[in-house]
Structures are given as C-alpha cells and as structure tokens.
C-alpha cells in the first residue's frame, strides 16, 4: 500500500492544477497565517487528559470519549468534514488499514463538526472499521485547543467551490479544527499526539498503529 503522505501529496498537486490560481494562492496564504498563530502549540498534548465534552453518535445519542475507552488504547482523529478531500483520503486509508489482518483489535473514533446526516448514509458509516461522531459546534475540539476561525474570504471561496459550511455544521460560526490525531489510554490520558495547522498534512496511520501495538506489549 502506498503511504498516506504520498497520496496526500498527489491529491494536493491535482487540486492545485484544477482550482483557480488566485484561490490556491489565498488558501496557501491562509494556511501560512494560521501556522504563524501557533495554534498547535496551545492544543492538548502528551500527558493531558481528554475533556468530557459530549459528542453526538450516529445513533443520535450524546456520548463522550470516555464511553469508548473500554476499547483502549483508542485513536481519536479530528477531521474537517466529508467535503475535505484530504480528510477523505486519510479516513479511507485508516479504514483499509484497520481491516487488515492483525489490526482488527485497534479502535478509532473519527470526530468532526459535520452533521452525520450531511456527511454519509447509515450503511456507509456502518461499513467503516471505526466509529464516526459529530462534535456539535466544535465543543470537544475547542476544549482541546484545536479550533480556529476561518477568514471570511476563505469561506467565500469555499462557497464558490460548493462547500457550504453553514449547511455542513448547521451553524454559521465558520470554525474548523486543525487536523489532529491522538491516542488515549483507558483513563483518557493522551499517550500519542500529532497536530498540524496545514490541512494537507496528516499523521502517518501506520506509525499510529505501530505505536499502539508497541504500547500493548508493555501495558
């Protein structure tokens, strides 16, 4: 299997060819401006505990990360939404990887502010190797220090490209989490942390899974 990094790089090159150059340039600038804010330096990291903010399961129940910790260690993957091609690549990669022989016992929770009825059909979600939940108004992601406000100009460009954040999240806050991947133990303590303000980058899923396997050998 090709690496996720290579897939993301290829996707980025493709999108940069088909998206109008002024929009590409502004999106790059917006990412660099976000990086300069140092948001990832304020996010929860190793040794911190996941907050108990509630999220909405696809079954329409309010739950917390702690309701899933019987499956520890648990991967927490914060993504932008089903409209994000980089997020889709990442989640598809995890789905394939978690279905491979030897990885069946590894659990993951995919978390985004996107409403479940917008992002996928029930049969699609039920076929995944991980659970998907909605972080209403980014409450959990905010508590973890991952959320930022999108510039109005970027929201306008998104609308031009058919991305309706207000419909996707059912609010007009114009906020997203930066991509982040955590692994937490049975107490909710963060034992692996990765985040990046650049939405075209992601943690290496194989590295995350290898980390969990090594952790299980010593705990």
DSSP line for 64-98: -GGGGGGG-SEEEEE---TT-HHHHHHHHHHHHHH
Assess contact for 57 and 63: CB atoms under 8 A: yes
Structure tokens at 28: 């790059």
The helix or strand, by DSSP H or E, that contains position 15, with its residue range, turns out to be helix 4-18
| Strand 74-78 to 107-112 pairing | parallel
Q: Region 44-63: what's the mean pLDDT?
A: 93
| pLDDT for the residue 123 | 47
pLDDT in tens, 94-114: 999 999 999 988 999 999 999
- Show contacts of 6-14: CB within 8 Å, 24+ apart: 7/89, 7/93, 8/86, 8/89, 8/90, 8/200, 8/201, 8/202, 11/85, 11/86, 11/89, 12/86, 12/200
pLDDT, mean of residues 133-157:
96
Residue 7 is predicted with a pLDDT of 96
157-173 pLDDT tens trace: 999 999 999 999 999 99
Tell me which of 78 and 122 has the higher pLDDT: 78
Banded pLDDT at 117 (limits 50, 70, 90): low
Read off the tokens for 1: 């299997």
Per-residue confidence band for 127, with pLDDT thresholds at 50, 70 and 90: confident
Assign 147 a pLDDT band (cuts: 50, 70, 90). Answer: very high
Kindly list the distances between the CA atom of residue 85 and the CA atoms of 37, 90, 103, 207, 215, in Å, as whole numbers in the listed order: 24, 9, 25, 21, 31
List domains and CATH numbers for the chain: 4-218 (3.40.30.10)
N- to C-terminal Cα separation, the chain: 29
What is the spatial distance between Cα 108 and Cα 68, in angstroms, rounded to a whole number? 9
């Amino acid at each position: 299997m090709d690496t996720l990094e290579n897939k993301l790089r290829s996707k980025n090159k493709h999108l940069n060819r088909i998206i109008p150059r002024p929009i590409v340039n502004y999106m790059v600038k917006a990412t660099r401006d976000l990086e300069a804010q140092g948001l990832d330096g304020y996010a929860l990291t190793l040794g911190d505990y996941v907050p108990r903010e509630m999220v909405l399961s696809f079954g329409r129940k309010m739950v917390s990360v702690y309701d899933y910790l019987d499956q520890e260690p648990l991967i927490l993957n914060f993504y932008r939404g089903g409209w994000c091609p980089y997020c889709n690549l990442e989640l598809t990669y995890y789905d394939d990887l978690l279905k491979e022989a030897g990885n069946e016992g590894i659990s993951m929770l995919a978390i985004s502010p996107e409403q479940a009825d917008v992002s996928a059909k029930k049969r699609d979600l039920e076929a995944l190797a991980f659970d998907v939940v909605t972080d209403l108004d980014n409450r959990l992601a905010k508590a973890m220090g991952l959320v930022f406000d999108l510039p109005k100009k970027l929201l306008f460009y998104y609308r031009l490209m058919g991305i309706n954040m207000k419909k996707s999240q059912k609010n007009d806050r114009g906020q997203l989490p930066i991509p982040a991947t955590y692994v937490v133990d049975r107490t909710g303590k963060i034992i692996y942390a990765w985040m990046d303000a650049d939405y075209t980058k992601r943690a290496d899923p194989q590295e995350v899974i290898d980390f969990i396997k090594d952790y299980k050998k010593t705990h």
